[in-house]
Amino acid sequence: MLAGWDDMPAVLAPDNPVVTYAVERRARLAQALPAELLIIPAGTARVRSNDTDYTFRPGTDHVWLTGNTVAESVLVIDTTGGEADAVLYLLPPSGRATDEFWQDPALGDLWVGPRPTLAETASALGLETRPLSALDADLAQAARRARRIRVVPTLDERVDDLVRGLCGPELAPHLLLKSTLDELRLIKNDWELAQLQLAVDATALGFEDCLREWDAARAAPRGERYLEGTFHRRSRLEGEGPAYGSVVGAGDHATTLHWTANDGPLRDGDVVLMDMGVELPSLFSADITRVFPVTGTFTPLQRDVYSIVLRAQQAGIDTLRAGVAFQDYQDACSRSLAADLIDLGLLHCSLDEALAPGNQYQRRWSISRAGHMLGMDVHDCNHAPVGSYLTGRLAAGHTLTVEPGLYFQRNDLTVPEELRGLGIRIEDDLVVTETASVTLSAALPRTPDAVESWMSALAA
Ligand code: GLY
Ligand code: MN
Ligand code: MN
């Protein structure tokens, strides 16, 4: 069995655009955390059951700093010399002479496909590479020089254990590495913005597929899942797959913010809330929500509630520009929702009273924040210092969602019966500019009339 095999072709695509950016990103990280040893794992596959794993998704920071997506890889950046001295530790290909190649369903090249060689990775990514088996000894030696060792924790248990062995169980130093990386990733460059636009465009195709297959979904006992499957197919064709569990909630399922069971039917008279996004190979991800009437026509009441949410979203979008507080667009959405809920007769108080910090009465029905940063993670840069994100100011190149919603639970006795079980969210993806914002998802119809026209144009 060992003889008669030709060489395998190269595994990695040439000219990975991340490579150029990664050099500059590593330099910025070294500037932020000088004289340290920084360890950024790609992560490992997670067990689903027995010897079957979940699909591997590489760690965001590792990909951002290297372009490498191979499981179990570990990037080590030594900043003690004042620069980002980077080494990428990798599992080499199994090699035909090993038992691993022939018999290991998790790691054997024959089972899981070929891994790139160390030389190929070094040349494709412009990084020094070393075998993963050298990591322990190399780290022990480098640890003597560094003032600090930090790891992005929880991605790779073996690496976490190794680091604990070198510098003890304290978690805080490691969280500083993660928060520094998330802060550095907040502002997107032009290539990153183009990637996000591609993710949004791919997602728009997925929504269109769903509308084309609307009648088949209506006929299916689990119509929600039919639509989820339709979007899944498009997301696999255009990118890596869905960026998060797609939410397809018909009827009162739309009132569950992260409804992912998707096992219900599409009933005439109800609306369907679809919150879906494609993740690209670069990991850039869209996060878009649209709401559709099952019959293709909103009822007057659905239209009224939809219009309230749309007004709130527009109020949030109108607030966006570099220099304003992140909280400002959230507050604009809340203010608009609260004013309309007073007009609707659901809130019996003044606007100021509804919005007072201890009250925030509109939150009974709006529940979540009205948006978040978006990028290579759908909830991007969550660990950035609060002063740079949640209590900070927007800057040109920040990318975020604006996604107010109203969710009237089916057992909410404080709202008229006809509102119970209705959930509406409208979510778009935007980039902040010096003077305003650009809506990357503007091609997806948003007003009630435009949504109805979109449905009828794509109906089979
Ligand atoms: N899809 C999750 C969210 O909208 O934040
Ligand atoms: Mn979102
Ligand atoms: Mn969403």
The confidence score (pLDDT) of residue 172 equals 87
Same domain, 130 and 229: no
* Ligand 1 pocket, CB under 6 A: 244, 275, 287, 372, 378, 403, 427
Which DSSP symbol is given to 114? P
Output the CA 381–ligand 2 centroid distance in Å. Answer: 13
- Residue 101 lies inside a defined structural domain of this protein: yes
Segment 312-317 mean pLDDT: 98
* Boundary-marking domain end, from 160, 183, 206: 183
Of 378, 425, 428, the one to substitute when testing ligand 1's pocket (max ligand atoms within 8 A of C-beta) is 378
The confidence score (pLDDT) of residue 176 equals 96
**Which secondary structure element, helix H or strand E, spans residue 209, and what is its range?**
helix 190-212
- List the residue whose alpha carbon is closest to atom 3 of ligand 1: 287
Q: Which residues contact 219 (CB under 8 A, 6 or more apart)?
A: none
Same domain, 43 and 124: yes
- Residue 238 lies inside a defined structural domain of this protein: yes
The pLDDT tens digits of the residues spanning 273-307 come to 999 999 999 999 999 999 999 999 999 999 999 99
Closest-CA residue to 452 (of 250, 270, 224, 298): 298
Residue 37 clears pLDDT 80, i.e. is over it: yes
The pLDDT tens digits of the residues spanning 224-249 come to 999 999 999 999 999 999 999 999 99
The confidence score (pLDDT) of residue 351 equals 98
The confidence score (pLDDT) of residue 146 equals 83
Residue type at position 318: D
Question: What's the CATH code of the domain at 210?
Answer: 3.90.230.10
- Residue 97 lies inside a defined structural domain of this protein: yes
The confidence score (pLDDT) of residue 275 equals 98
The whole-angstrom separation of Cα 42 and Cα 156 is: 8
Ligand nearest to the CA of 243: 1
Same domain, 70 and 194: no
Same domain, 162 and 196: no
Containing domain of residue 202, as a range? Answer: 190-459
Residue 2 clears pLDDT 80, i.e. is over it: yes
Of 258, 374, 402, the one to substitute when testing ligand 1's pocket (max ligand atoms within 8 A of C-beta) is 258
Segment 102-112 mean pLDDT: 91
Output the CA 359–ligand 1 centroid distance in Å. Answer: 25
- Residue 13 lies inside a defined structural domain of this protein: no
Same domain, 373 and 326: yes
HSE toward the beta carbon, residue 370, CA cutoff 13 A? 31
The confidence score (pLDDT) of residue 160 equals 96
The whole-angstrom separation of Cα 258 and Cα 364 is: 16
The residue whose two tokens read 């929600």 is: 224
pTM, entire model: 0.97
Of 207, 262, 275, the one to substitute when testing ligand 1's pocket (max ligand atoms within 8 A of C-beta) is 275
The confidence score (pLDDT) of residue 317 equals 98
Ligand 1 atom, smallest distance to 379 CA: 5
Instruction: Using a pLDDT cut of 90, give the percent of the chain over it.
Output: 92
Output the CA 317–ligand 3 centroid distance in Å. Answer: 16
Sign of the torsion angle spanned by Cα atoms 362, 366, 367, 373: negative
Same domain, 203 and 146: no
- List the residue whose alpha carbon is closest to atom 5 of ligand 1: 379
Segment 214-223 mean pLDDT: 98
Ligand 1 atom, smallest distance to 403 CA: 4
Dihedral over alpha carbons 93, 99, 104, 106 (to 10 degrees): -20
